[in-house]
Structure 1
Amino acid sequence: MKKKYSYALLILLFALFFSSCGENQSLTPPDVETNILKFGTDYTLDIVTWNLQLFPLNDNTIDLLVDIIPQMEVEIFALQEIMEPYKLHELASRLPDYEALVYNAGTSWCLGYLYDASKVELKNEYTIYAGMGRPFPRPPYVLRMGYEDEEYYIINNHFKALGDNYIDEDDPWDEEMRRREASTLLETYISTNLSDKRVVMLGDLNDQIQEPRETNVFLPFLDKPEEYLFTTMPIAQNPTYYTVSYPTYLSIIDHILITNELFDDFEDAGEVCRVILVENILGGYNNYLNLISDHRPVGIRLNTPQ
């Protein structure tokens, strides 16, 4: 009886083998994204903050960015450390569809924007708190813009650097005190003038947002979670070498904050906020450090009406 079952099994296996070999199977390889720098999508507003250290850092920086920026497919770049403003305009002139804005072309350490003029409508640009050098070594630079029939306000910042991770209440020029004052003034400006607007506040804020209350300079925003969201918080709470914007100190000090008018847009876009590893096309971080910046770009996606 066992022998009969063995013969039957052999016949079945042969039948299956030959039937499966009767014709070639069509195999379609999965789609593979070959552009490793791509961040933006066709259905989101994509915004990046990027400290372009001492721009242009060297003679090759602009040529490299001419190749890099279009691959990222981003509508708005908020930039810090523009040392030669006319060079940013030169960069824009070599980028299809992009235009440049710099808030004070007569000085260095400027804030600026690159934006895709084929998609973004420039409505206004201005600085706030000009002349208040203690909280704002660089006055915040506001871009009022339109995209897909919606209006947005982008507030670009570069806070005071350095410090000792201690807020010295007795020293108004203490670095942490200056950053805390900047946060307080920005929150006041937004809540007073842009209370019902779509606002993105971003830039090199030179401090960490996940610190305890006694050393945290961002409490004016963090204490109002129903009104503001640091989209960079998950990175700050779980930093790794490949997720932080400032890997020299394994920290993220370049941040993006949104107001509650954008909470749903951020969620609907997949809650994407991350660094973009430009070094991956330059042979590693050390090359990126010498050619572009010591800061990585940080981007956010926002869903838009379809």
Structure 2
Amino acid sequence: MATTASPHATPNDLSSVTKTLDLLAPRWSVWVLMTVSAQPLRYAEIKSRLPWLADGQLHPRLTHLTNAGVVERTEYAPRHVTYGLTIRGAELMPVLTVIASWGDTYLEKALVANKTTGGMEPERIPPAQNIDDTLALIVPRHATPILWSLQARGRASAKTLATEAMPGYGLTGVYKPLDRLVADGLVTATGTGDFQLSASGQALAPVFQAISAWATAPAPGARRPRGQGPAPSQNRSGPWATTPTRVPAPAVPAGPSAAPALATTPPDAPAWKPSDLFSHQIPARPLSPAGGPRR
């Protein structure tokens, strides 16, 4: 029997989360953010780190992220322009760490032979790909409102979800996004007509908490404070200091590394090697779900 208690989250929280997901969802946006996370870079430097992106793909991503207030365009001279993270962009890096941790834990990985031992082991997926594949599961229309509602209720009928997560669509409209979430392994049917989150769906709670905390935090000015070093992603403040990840977040490599990194963690946390982001061929589409969703 479905519960009837109202969800604890407010509509403003959910709206802020979906807007943040819309910010991150366009393909390669996360890769661009991570590329400029260590230090501001010129356009040609970004392009050399994302060689598979044509100008027609990279320039719109930079414009999109700049307009969203997470990337700052600084013009020193007509032909000397750099792109780097704003304060808001730097504060978004720990959120990406949480999303990457969920993807690394719950998304499928193909077994590949270890080049040294010959033994089979899970494929090592670049963090940015884990983020993109996770977003592909929760960004589709109505997916997050349904997951949000089930997280608050525990379980609910399709009728309750249609009313709460998809007002105005009617009962029949809820089944397509529900079926997708079930196929992706985030939601399960109870057998009594109700639906509830799977274990991997429940584990999305830290992801939504981190996104919500970032989205509802007061937005500072887009300009960096004086004296800030070249790696704004190393500064952790605000709600992120109290938003734990499932897996210790990787540390930022020392020095002006050519490869991007996510946010700083305690000194004993494992570091991501410079090749982590680009160590795999970029698939045209994420792997199909088998044992764990990866679109």
Please indicate the TM-score interval, normalised by the length of the shorter structure. under 0.3
TM-score scaled by length of structure 2: 0.24
TM-score scaled by length of structure 1: 0.23
Specify which structure has the higher proportion of strand: 1
Greater radius of gyration (CA): 1
